[in-house]
Structure 1
């Protein structure tokens, strides 16, 4: 006899109990992770020109005496190194990090639920 009560238990518990995932569905996240890794690596290797961001140039002129303007320029100089020079590199790295995280999560999940 099951301890699951349809009105009292949450929907994910009921779904897991009555509809266990098929092997194909359990492994599909690994395929997605592989695709994310492949696409991310392709973007990092190819470095398409469409993702290149031109370097912003500051307007030349006499030094300003305004405290607020100097503060804004100082903030810009601090933030500028974090801006990507190629957007596709950033997207590629993000895809690879996400792919690794997805694959590790799926593998660890399978190891945790392994019955032996």
Structure 2
């Protein structure tokens, strides 16, 4: 059974690990750039596949059944916060993730290694 790192052997593990290679340190920048590029492309192109259809395709007249009235009320409530194009939401999320990754890695590089 292998021993997991704990409070007692953590300094020993830190001394024996090698510093990350230059390629491994800068790979997140490339990944973040890809996230930004894909997110921007989705926002700019607005593909039709992500378009959310109009929810009132079956009409807007009141329904007789309680279940159908409840479903109609739920449909109208969901329309208030549903995006018009899902790919816009995905694109914004990718951009935010890319910016967060870039910021985290840039600040990590600026902070330097331990003891320096």
The two structures have a TM-score, normalised by structure 1, of 0.72
Deviations 1:79-102 (A, max 9, x none): 212212212111111110110111
Alignment gaps of 5+ in structure 1? 1-6
Alignment CA distance shift 1:22-1:57 (3 Å): same
**Partners in 2 of 1:44 and 1:105 — Cα distance?**
24
Matched, 1:44 2:43: yes
Alignment CA distance shift 1:79-1:12 (3 Å): farther
Alignment gaps of 5+ in structure 2? none
**Partners in 2 of 1:105 and 1:92 — Cα distance?**
20
For 1:44, what is the secondary structure of its paired residue?
Answer: helix
- The aligned runs of 1:1-116 (5 Å cut-off) are 9-10=5-6, 14=13, 17-57=16-56, 59-60=58-59, 63-64=62-63, 70-114=69-113, 116=116
The two structures have a TM-score, normalised by structure 2, of 0.72
The CA RMSD measured in Å over matched residues stands at: 3.1
